[in-house]
Each structure stands twice: as structure tokens, then as C-alpha cells.
């Protein structure tokens, strides 16, 4: 498994919208072997950031696609720092 940071560009997104999407991700993640760990929202800039432990970027994308259809605009392989 590897850690990925996703960036979603969603003008008009609210914290409530992101919470609902994250809940849908959590309900779907097991099917794809992913672990959606945390998310952050910047309403003013219309961005949502998701931290996911997944076997591949495609697995993370598949969770979003099935859960709510809001796939990420960018996805980056990241390493956790101390």
C-alpha cells in the first residue's frame, strides 16, 4: 500500500458536501482495498484534499467514482514526515 494525496477542484464546495462525500468513500473503500484516512476542505478556494492509503492511484479513483462520482483532479504519491 502507498499514501496518496488527492486534490479536488470543486468551486462552491462546502464542508458539509465534503463530509457527505467522505462518508460515501468510507462506505465504499473496502471493496477496492483502500483506506481513506483524512480530508481537508478550503471552501474559499473550492478545494478538497484527501489522504488515502491505497494499493494504487486507480484504486483511490475507483472508490470516488463508485461512491459519488467526484474524482480527483490531481493525485500525488506522498511520504509521511515526522
Q: At 17, which CATH number? A: 3.30.70.3090
- In this prediction, residue 6 carries a pLDDT of 97
- Taking only the tens place, the pLDDT of each residue in 26-66 is 999 999 999 999 999 999 999 999 999 999 999 999 999 99
- In this prediction, residue 20 carries a pLDDT of 96
5 with 48: CB under 8 angstroms? no
> 25-32, long-range: CB within 8 Å, 24+ apart, which pairs?
25/50, 25/63, 25/64, 25/67, 25/68, 27/67, 28/63, 28/66, 28/67, 29/63, 31/63, 31/66, 32/59, 32/60, 32/62, 32/63, 32/66
| Predicted structure pTM score | 0.91
For residue 36, the enclosing domain spans: 2-78
**Residue showing cell 490531481:** 74
Q: How many domains does the chain have?
A: 1
Amino acid at each position: 500500500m502507498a499514501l496518496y494525496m488527492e486534490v479536488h477542484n470543486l468551486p462552491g464546495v462546502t464542508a458539509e458536501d465534503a463530509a457527505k462525500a467522505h462518508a460515501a468513500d468510507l462506505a465504499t473503500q473496502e471493496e477496492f482495498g483502500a483506506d481513506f484516512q483524512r480530508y481537508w476542505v478550503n471552501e474559499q478556494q473550492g478545494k478538497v484534499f484527501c489522504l488515502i492509503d491505497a494499493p494504487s492511484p486507480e484504486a483511490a479513483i475507483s472508490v470516488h467514482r463508485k461512491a459519488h462520482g467526484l474524482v480527483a483532479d490531481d493525485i500525488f504519491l506522498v511520504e509521511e514526515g515526522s
